[in-house]
Amino acid sequence: MELPNITILNEKDKRLRQISKEVKFPLSLEDKKMINDMLTYLQMSQIEEEREKYNLRAGWGLSAVQLGVLKRIFVIAEELEDHSFKNYIIINPQIESYSEELIYVGEGEGCLSVDRDVKGIIPRYARMTIKAQDIDGKNITMRVREDISIAFQHEIDHLNGILFVDRIDPKNPYKNKEFMREI
């Protein structure tokens, strides 16, 4: 695998605070290449030898805005038990419904645009249904749960100009922990 030539914006970049625009179809070749590069980067970041070789931070998801492209596109590369990857390409997502149950990542969320340790938890829906489009513009409906639900919410926040650090109460970073389930 060859490391894609992409630059992930740092949290100080003002573009990360902008709301991404709806994507029109068909996708350009440039957009398709960006999606492929994002998935390749994420997969490489999760393979130990590649991560060490290129000094990468491990990541599950990336939004187009993190590359400075203000389009409602995000991808997730989920490493499976057999070390293969399940790739999600999500375009123009809308949350249709969500569970009342809230969960949080016990060790805290991370982000490829936030290169520092951040203490605190973010309430996320345990399950949700989203409507979106795939890479060909076909309408899709997906039900996601647990860690994938968290990843989807994290990336949808990016598309809306929100970083995970914005969702942590600075005065009480573990606020309402007792009302949520840790994963």
- For residue 91, the domain's CATH number is 3.90.45.10
140 lies in some domain: yes
pLDDT of 80: 96
Residue 136 has pLDDT above 90, yes or no: yes
Instruction: Write out the H or E segment, with its range, that includes residue 35.
Output: helix 29-46
By annotation, the residues acting in catalysis are: 155
Condensed to tens digits (0 to 9), the pLDDT of residues 10-58 reads 999 999 999 999 999 999 999 999 999 999 999 999 999 999 999 999 9
Euclidean distance between CA atoms 172 and 169, whole angstroms: 5
112 lies in some domain: yes
pTM beyond cutoff 0.85:
yes
Condensed to tens digits (0 to 9), the pLDDT of residues 67-120 reads 999 999 999 999 999 999 999 999 999 999 999 999 999 999 999 999 999 999
Euclidean distance between CA atoms 127 and 153, whole angstroms: 10
pLDDT of 1: 85
**Any idea how long the chain is?**
183
3 lies in some domain: no
Q: How far is CA 106 from the centre of its chain?
A: 17
Domain that holds residue 88: 14-182
Residue partners of 66: CB distance under 8 A and separation at least 6: 8, 9, 16, 112, 113, 158
pLDDT of 140: 98
Alpha-carbon dihedral of residues 183, 159, 68, 167, nearest 10 degrees?
A: -50
4 lies in some domain: no
